[in-house]
Structure 1
Amino acid sequence: MQFHYIAADASNKTREGDKEGKSTEEILAFVFSQGWKPISIKPLKQVIMVKQGTLFERVTLQDKIFLFKYLSLMLKVGTDLFKAIDVLLEDTDKPLMRSLLLEIKTNLERGNSLYVSFENHPDIFSPIVVNLLKAAEASGNLEQSMEDISATYAKEAEVKGKIQSALIYPVLLLVVASGVVGLMVTFVLPKMSTMFEGSDAKIPLFSLIVIRVGQFLNANIVWIVPLMLVLIGGLAYFFIKVPAGQKALDTIMRKTPLVKTLLQKIALRRFASTFGSLLKAGIPFIQALEITADAVGEMEFRAAILRIARENIAKGTSVADAFRKETVFPKVVTNLISIGEKSGHVEEILGTLAKFYEDEIDSALKTLVAIFEPAMLLFIGFIVAGIAISVILPIYQLVNQYS
C-alpha cells in the first residue's frame, strides 16, 4: 500500500514523498530511521483495475442483471457492501466476474468511491451506470439506484430476447434453404449434366449456365467453402466493429422502411427509460440529456438530443418547446413531456413512455416477421423453381428428340 509522508529533517527542512508499506507504523519507522521528525503520514487512494478477460470471456447482460439485483437485495436487508461482495465472490465461478468483484472490494478498502471501479470499464459499463452510481452515493440512495440499474438491464435483455426469438425461424429457414439449394447446384446438377452432354440435344442457355456454375462449384468446393466463411466473417466484423462499417449498416437500416420504424421505436424506448432513470437519480437535466444521447443508439436521435440540451434548454428555452423543434420525436413524446414539465412529473411521464414503446416494439416485430417470412419463402421458391426449370428444359428436349 502506498503512503504519502511529510517530515522535517535536522535543519527543519521539509521532506516529502511516497513510499510503499504495509502500515502507517512501517512508514513511521522509515521516517525515524532517516533522522526526520514526522509531520503527516496518509495512505494514498490508489485505483486498482483488473485486466480484461480473454477473447471468449466477457461479462454478459445476465451477469450485470444478477450483480446489481443481488447487491440491491443485500443492501435492502441491511448487509454491508463488503459482506455482499464477499458472498458474491464465493458464488461466482467466472474468472472475469471474480476479478471485477475483487477490484470493487479493493478500491472500496482503499477509500475510493464505488463508481470508480465501474468507470474503469467503459466497454462493460456505460456512462449511464457510472453516473447513476455516482449520484446514488452522493444522495445515499444506493440500494434503489442499483435496483433501477438491474431493472433497466432486464428490460434491455427482454427487448433483445424478443428480437432474437422473432428472427430465429426466418434465419433458420434461410440457412436450411441455402444449404439445400447449394447441395442441389453443387452435387446433383453436375451428375445430371453428364446425361445431357452425352446426347446430341441442344441444352438451353439458361440451363447451361446453371450446370456450368454447378460444375465449377463442385470442382472447387475445397477452397470455395473456406473463402465464403472468411468473407462472411470479414463482413460481420466490418459491420459490427469498424466505425465505417457501423455507419454504413446504420444508413442501410435507416433506409429500410419496416426496419427503420423498429429501430426508431427501440431508440425512443431507450431514450425514455434512460432519461427517466437519470432524472430520478437527481442528475441535472442538461447533463442527463447529454448522457442519454450516447445511449439511444441512433445517430439522428443523438444529434437531436444534444441540440435540445446545448442549443435550446441551456439558453433558456422550455423543455416542451425544445423537443417540439426536433421532428424526430413523435407528437406523443413532445406532448407528454410538455404535460410532465407543467405538472413537475417528467420522470413518471418518461416511465409511461418507456412502457408504451415496449408494446410498440412488440407490434413492430410481429409486423416485420409477418412480412419477412412469406417474402423469404417466395424468394427461395423462385430460386428452386429456376433450378427445376434448368433441369426440366433439357429433359423435355431430350424426350422430344428420341420421340
Structure 2
Amino acid sequence: MARYAYKALDESGRKQKGTLEAESLEGAERMLLERDLVPMEVKALTAAAGRGVGLGRFASVKAEELILFTKQFRTLLRAGVGILRILEVLEKQTENTKLRSVLAAMGRDIRDGAGLFEAFHNHPSVFSPLYCNMIRAGEQSGSLPQVLERLTYIIEHEHKVRSDIKSALQYPIIVSLFLVVAFFVLLTFVIPKFVSIFDKVGIDLPLPTKIALNLYAFLENFWVLLLFGLVGGILALVLWFRTPTGRLLRDRFLLALPLFGKLFAKAAMSRFASIFSILQASGIPVLDTLKILSGAIGNAAVAYEFDQIGEKLSEGKGIAGPLSEARYFTPMVVNMVAIGEESGNLEEMMQEVAVHYDDEVGYATKRLSDAVGPLLTVGLAVVVGFFAAAIFLPMWDLTQMVK
C-alpha cells in the first residue's frame, strides 16, 4: 500500500484536497470515484507503481479504461469544467499510454477549431463509430452528460456480454488444444517405439496400429509441406476474413453452428436491443440508428440485414415489417418492435428485449458449458481409446505368441 495526495472535484464542482492509501495510482483514482469525487491531480507520497512506459501507438485501450474515462468526462462536464480543461485533467490521470496520447491529440484538434465529434472521430482505434455518433447526438442536442451516461451503460453492457461469451469458450478451446497436442505427441514419440518392437518380432499389426503408423509416416515425410500449408491457410483465411464477403460468410457460418450459433445470435439480439433503445432515447432517427448499428453490431451477417432493413425504411415502410422478413431476428424481437411502434414506446420495448436477451445469454452460456463437458469427455475417450488399441492390441498378440 502507498499513500497518495489528491485534488478532486465534488458533485457541486468544489475542489477537495486530502490523502488516501491505495495499492496503485489507478486504485487511488477509483477510490475517489467511489466517493463521488473526480480526480484532478493524484500524486504518490511514497514509492508506488509509476505510470506504464511503453510504445503508446502499439498499446490498446481496455473496456475498463474506456468506461473510467467516460465516467470522468461526464462528471467533469456536470461540474461545469471546460472541454479543454477536462482533456488536460484526464490526460494527466490516465495510465494508458495510448489513451494519454489520444487525449493530447484531441486537445490540439479542439484548439485548432475542431468540434468535439471531430476530435473523437479522428481516433477510430479508441472510439468506435457508435461512441462518436453518440457524442455528436449529445453535442447537437445539448445533453452530452446524459448521453455519456448512456454510453457508459453500453460499454459496460458490451463488456459483460463479451466476458460471458469468452468464459464459455475458454474451457473448450483449452481442452481441445491439449487434445491436439496429446494426439501429436503420442503419434510422433510413443507409437514409433512400439512399432519398431513389433516389426522385429514380425507379428501382423492390427488396423488401429496400421492407421497410427501410416499417420506417423505421413507426418515424417510431409511435415514441412503440412506446416507451410497450415500457416499459409491461416494467413489466407485471416486476409479473406478482412474482406466484406469473407466476414459475411464467416459470421453466417458461426451463427449456423450447433450450440455456439444460438449463443452468438442471442448476444447479437441483446446488443441490438440495448443500443437501439439508447440511440432512440438520444434522439437519433431510426435510419441513422440502423446505420450506426450496422457498424457497431459486431456481426457482419446481422449488419447485412440492417442494411436491407434500412433500404426498405427509406421507401417509407415501418421497421417491424422489414424486420420480420430478416434472418436472425426472433418473433419476440419483431413483436416487441411492432408494439413499440404502435404505442410510441419503442425505446421502452427495446429495453425490455435487452433485459430478456441478457438473461438468455446467461442461460445459453450455462447450457453451452454443460453440453461441452460431455462432448470433450467423449473426444478424450476416442483419442485415448485409439492409441490404447494401437499399442495394446499388438502387445496382446505378442503375449499370445510368447505363450
Residues 322, 397 of structure 1: alpha-carbon distance in 2 compared, 3 angstrom cutoff: closer
Residues 318, 193 of structure 1: alpha-carbon distance in 2 compared, 3 angstrom cutoff: closer
Task: Please say if residues 238 and 246 of structure 1, whose CA atoms lie closer than 8 Å, have aligned partners that are also in contact.
Answer: no
- Aligned partner of 1:372: which letter? V
Residues 163, 239 of structure 1: alpha-carbon distance in 2 compared, 3 angstrom cutoff: farther
Offset of residue 388 of structure 1: 0.7
Larger Rg computed on CA atoms: 1
Superposed, which structure 2 residues align to 1:113-262 within 5 Å? 113-214=115-216, 217=219, 230=231, 234=235, 237-238=238-239, 241-262=242-263
Report what 2:102 is aligned to. 100
- Aligned partner of 1:331: which letter? P
Report what 1:23 is aligned to. none
Task: Please say if residues 177 and 380 of structure 1, whose CA atoms lie closer than 8 Å, have aligned partners that are also in contact.
Answer: yes
Tell whether 2:268 aligns with 1:271: no
Using the aligned pairs only, state the percent identity. 28
Superposed, which structure 2 residues align to 1:2-401 within 5 Å? 54=57, 56-214=58-216, 217=219, 230=231, 234=235, 237-238=238-239, 241-311=242-312, 313-326=313-326, 328-401=328-401
Task: Please say if residues 102 and 123 of structure 2, whose CA atoms lie closer than 8 Å, have aligned partners that are also in contact.
Answer: no
- Aligned partner of 1:117: which letter? A
- Distance in 1 (alpha carbons) for counterparts of 2:160 and 2:225: 39
- Distance in 2 (alpha carbons) for counterparts of 1:231 and 1:380: 29
SS at match of 2:255: helix
SS at match of 2:201: coil
SS at match of 1:257: coil
Task: Please say if residues 67 and 155 of structure 2, whose CA atoms lie closer than 8 Å, have aligned partners that are also in contact.
Answer: yes
SS at match of 1:335: helix
- Encode CA deviations 1:357-378: one digit per residue, 9 max, x unaligned: 1111111222222222211221
Task: Please say if residues 217 and 224 of structure 1, whose CA atoms lie closer than 8 Å, have aligned partners that are also in contact.
Answer: no
- Aligned partner of 1:392: which letter? F
Task: Please say if residues 166 and 365 of structure 1, whose CA atoms lie closer than 8 Å, have aligned partners that are also in contact.
Answer: yes
Residues 261, 360 of structure 1: alpha-carbon distance in 2 compared, 3 angstrom cutoff: same
- Aligned partner of 1:154: which letter? E
- Distance in 1 (alpha carbons) for counterparts of 2:247 and 2:316: 35
Bigger mean CA offset, 236-245 vs 379-388: 236-245
- Aligned partner of 1:252: which letter? F
Task: Please say if residues 320 and 338 of structure 1, whose CA atoms lie closer than 8 Å, have aligned partners that are also in contact.
Answer: yes
Offset of residue 58 of structure 1: 2.4
Bigger mean CA offset, 298-307 vs 163-172: 298-307
- Distance in 1 (alpha carbons) for counterparts of 2:61 and 2:110: 21
Offset of residue 100 of structure 1: 0.6
Residues 301, 243 of structure 1: alpha-carbon distance in 2 compared, 3 angstrom cutoff: closer
- Which consecutive unaligned segments of at least 5 residues does structure 1 have? 1-51
Report what 1:14 is aligned to. none
- Aligned partner of 1:281: which letter? S
- Distance in 2 (alpha carbons) for counterparts of 1:224 and 1:369: 36
Offset of residue 211 of structure 1: 2.9
Task: Please say if residues 115 and 130 of structure 1, whose CA atoms lie closer than 8 Å, have aligned partners that are also in contact.
Answer: yes
Residues 58, 242 of structure 1: alpha-carbon distance in 2 compared, 3 angstrom cutoff: farther
Task: Please say if residues 290 and 306 of structure 2, whose CA atoms lie closer than 8 Å, have aligned partners that are also in contact.
Answer: yes
Task: Please say if residues 261 and 364 of structure 1, whose CA atoms lie closer than 8 Å, have aligned partners that are also in contact.
Answer: yes
Task: Please say if residues 209 and 391 of structure 2, whose CA atoms lie closer than 8 Å, have aligned partners that are also in contact.
Answer: yes
- Aligned partner of 2:372: which letter? F
SS at match of 1:367: helix
- Aligned partner of 1:385: which letter? G
Task: Please say if residues 268 and 296 of structure 1, whose CA atoms lie closer than 8 Å, have aligned partners that are also in contact.
Answer: no
Task: Please say if residues 109 and 119 of structure 2, whose CA atoms lie closer than 8 Å, have aligned partners that are also in contact.
Answer: yes
Residues 166, 326 of structure 1: alpha-carbon distance in 2 compared, 3 angstrom cutoff: closer
Task: Please say if residues 287 and 310 of structure 2, whose CA atoms lie closer than 8 Å, have aligned partners that are also in contact.
Answer: yes
Task: Please say if residues 208 and 386 of structure 2, whose CA atoms lie closer than 8 Å, have aligned partners that are also in contact.
Answer: no
Offset of residue 186 of structure 1: 1.6
- Distance in 1 (alpha carbons) for counterparts of 2:104 and 2:208: 67
- Which consecutive unaligned segments of at least 5 residues does structure 2 have? 1-54
- Encode CA deviations 1:88-111: one digit per residue, 9 max, x unaligned: 211223332122101111122223
- Aligned partner of 1:155: which letter? H
Q: Normalised by the size of structure 1, how large is the TM-score?
A: 0.77
Q: Normalised by the size of structure 2, how large is the TM-score?
A: 0.77
Offset of residue 127 of structure 1: 2.2
- Aligned partner of 1:388: which letter? A
Offset of residue 115 of structure 1: 0.9
Alignment size in residue pairs: 349
Residues 239, 357 of structure 1: alpha-carbon distance in 2 compared, 3 angstrom cutoff: farther
Bigger mean CA offset, 298-307 vs 109-118: 298-307
SS at match of 1:317: coil
SS at match of 1:294: helix
- Encode CA deviations 1:142-199: one digit per residue, 9 max, x unaligned: 1111121122111111111111111222222222232223222221222222221221
- Distance in 2 (alpha carbons) for counterparts of 1:321 and 1:219: 60
- Encode CA deviations 1:266-286: one digit per residue, 9 max, x unaligned: 221121122212111111222
